[in-house]
Amino acid sequence: MNDHSAHLNRRLDRRVPLGCTAAIQLPHGERIPAQCLELSVSGMTLHAAYVPGRGEVLEVAVAPPEGAVDRPPLVAKLEVKRCNALGGGLYEIGGAIVRIVN
């Protein structure tokens, strides 16, 4: 599959806008607060004050939406595909979910 067809296949996944709080857990123990803007079966988009490298794998915990059934956060390994500056020290991070941890 070439890059173009992979891009088209990603767009077939239904994206759910969330706006949920999230956290990026770095390997050395630091937790970076984040906001999960949207989630799909194969990926997610975050806003955070962190600049990951392309291909870096992050552990991300996403809290359930406000008012939802009391559930533990979704914890996933996310492979970074893009990172764009938003201004004000925030970055938009888009990635592919490579594994659900819980």
pLDDT per position as a tens digit, 75-102: 999 999 999 999 999 999 999 999 999 8
pTM score: 0.82
Tens of pLDDT, residue by residue over 63-73, are: 988 766 778 89
First to last CA, the chain: 29
What is the C-alpha to C-alpha distance for residues 27 and 89, in angstroms, rounded to an integer? 22
Tens of pLDDT, residue by residue over 34-62, are: 999 999 989 999 999 999 999 999 999 99
Chain centroid to Cα 2, Å, comes to 23
- Regarding beta strands 16-25 and 43-48, do their DSSP bridges make them parallel or antiparallel, or are they unpaired? unpaired
Domain 3-100 class in CATH: mainly beta
Task: Count other C-beta atoms under 10 Å from residue 93's C-beta.
Answer: 25
